A and B are shown apart, each in its own frame.
Chain A
């Protein structure tokens, strides 16, 4: 007797959902089963929302933050201090720091951290773009707001060293960022304190 098989489109949907971060095979299965039995207009709407978001949201060509406009609102806002740039690992870190409220300078998203174990080398990060900005923009201080785990620390020191000949002030967040995690675990107050207490990097 032939085995009962999943309809191919359902299997495809499970496979596709399973590629999303944090979605294991079980969850993918549950979501797919839900979707193929949900109200068709809801699913159509979801599909449009998905493609819309993907088409319209892009990395800012200047700072790397997620935006609909080029350049992004943060880069265009001339009330912000144009002499300061805060370097972060991921696009989401921009919002976290901006939300904390104390920081009023520019941002630059690296898009990762140096990690030989994950095959991420300097060329894979937006370091060259940062250097171009340092040429073009009136920046005088670079604040490194990277995680304090092995890779984050190595990236901070690598950048400090690579940027040193430019004679800029290079600082890093003083403390308060839990080791081994990104900025998302730090609350607003901790972030503000860390920003105020930033220190020159050796």
Chain B
């Protein structure tokens, strides 16, 4: 799967951009603040409808303009055209010229995995970060997951509002509890099945990158231990005090352990960074494995942070993406991209919201 065309209008510092890409390696070169990360952000947005910088639509609209447009063409199993427009008063999303009615019809057309400095939050940040990571991984590999997650979220928000009322209507609470429990149980089950399949990949990736002696373990700590209904009923007293749902997959944790100790508290900065990259590497491998084709890799500034030895650990992933006619976009500030990558790089010069193809290197 790869992105063959990208069109931007009023997106960040791009007034207009038309670019065509082949499969393989693309290195985006340019000085600071020229628009390298913005380009990766646009591709990721097209794939997931989210910014990896965790911001909303308004921030991505070019200063002074009304709304942004991002369009792309993807070649995978067949060719697809994706288009999105966002302005404060209007949102449009279409796939192959048809307005998208259900997100599940759209997501999956372009699969992407991003490596960026924000990833460190996967290790250091609160549990929401890791739950969102699990959710994305499941949404990218199981078509039924997203509708369940959406349903759970809606039922949970409804239930929490019922709990916030001055006088809690027990019958009403019970009516929303049914879905929270039923759908929540399915979510827990899917996460429970995922983690053992996924964690060996993280371990291997970590070992490959870190060359260290420490053992990494990734463990799923579900909020629901056995029976959601029973555990929720037991929490009812405390819920009366806190006025919110205290048990459920929205409270799950993905624990990251280095030599059996939580990496958040005991890991060094370097270990945490390596761990974050290992999680993303494993995501790319898992998603690629499930679909038989690697996702598009978006690598922002990450190589610069790693020493040559650690970079070496990432190579197998990049090589594989290359061989399987996948696609990699990587940003670099100087012409110091990892020598190891060798041949067949497409270099792009990024300058003040424009990009220009360099000659093919070798």
Contact surface of A with B, Cβ cutoff 8 Å:
24-25, 114-117, 121-122, 149-151, 153-155, 157-158, 161-162, 179
Contacts and interface: CB of A to CB of B under 8 A. Distances in A.
Contacts of B159: 116
Contact of B178 (A115, A157, A162): A157
Interface in B151-169: 151, 154-155, 157-159, 161-162, 169
Interface residues of B, number: 19
A155 B175 contact: yes
B94 to A, nearest CB: 16
Contacts of B162: 116
Contacts of B172: 114, 116, 121-122, 154, 158
B175 A115 contact: no
A114 B89 CA distance: 28
Given A117-B157, A150-B151, A179-B147, 18 more contacts: A25-B89, A114-B175, A116-B162, A116-B172, A122-B169, A149-B151, A149-B154, A150-B155, A150-B176, A150-B179, A153-B178, A153-B179, A154-B155, A154-B176, A154-B178, A157-B175, A158-B171, A161-B174
Interface string B129-171: 0000000000000000001000100110111011000000101
A179 B104 CA distance: 14
Contact of B158 (A24, A116, A122): A116
Secondary structure of the A contact surface, majority rule:
helix
Nearest to B183: A150
A117 B161 contact: yes
B158 A150 contact: yes
Interface in B269-321: none
Given A117-B154, A122-B169, A154 B161 contact: no
A44 to B, nearest CB: 33
21 contacts: A114-B172, A115-B158, A116-B157, A116-B158, A116-B176, A117-B157, A121-B169, A149-B154, A150-B154, A150-B155, A151-B158, A153-B178, A153-B179, A154-B155, A154-B172, A154-B175, A158-B171, A158-B175, A161-B171, A161-B174, A162-B171
Nearest to B158: A116
A122 B147 CA distance: 27
Nearest to A122: B172
Contacts of B90: 24
Identify which of A115, A116, A150, A153 gathers the most chain B CB atoms within 10 Å of its CB.
Answer: A150
Contacts of A25: 89
A63 B322 CA distance: 66
Contact of A117 (B158, B169, B178): B158
Contacts of B179: 150, 153-154
Contacts of A121: 169, 172
A167 to B, nearest CB: 18
